[in-house]
Amino acid sequence: MTARSAHAASKQSAQGLAAAANESGRAVMQRKIDDGRVAVILGFSREAVRRMSEELGIGQKYESASGSTIEFTYEELYRLCRSSIRPV
């Protein structure tokens, strides 16, 4: 496998992860939510959400000139919610 075909294969698999097929066969993009909104939903600080993300190994980190952010799919948000529940 050449470097070009390896790059194309990894790009295609990344696109495959970002899209899911619905019942009609059309591609549907997964919705994402950033760490600031997740913090508000869960009632945690942004730092706590980032720590949980690192511990669980979920979320996609993006760097920009204005800072970094972590984006979560709705499935990852569900996992964060479930992991934040503590048995009484």
pTM: 0.62
The letter for the amino acid at 13 is S
β-bridge pairing 19-21 and 67-73: unpaired
> Tokens in use for 29?
């993009």
pLDDT at residue 70 greater than cutoff 70: yes
Q: Give the chain's domains with CATH numbers.
A: 1-29 (no CATH), 31-88 (1.10.1660)
Nearest partner of 17 among 6, 28, 3, judged by Cα? 28
Instruction: Please name which of 39, 66, 42, 41 lies closest in space to residue 50, comparing C-alpha atoms.
Output: 39
More confident residue, 24 or 16: 24
Predicted pLDDT at 30: 77
Residues 41-54, mean pLDDT to the nearest whole number = 94
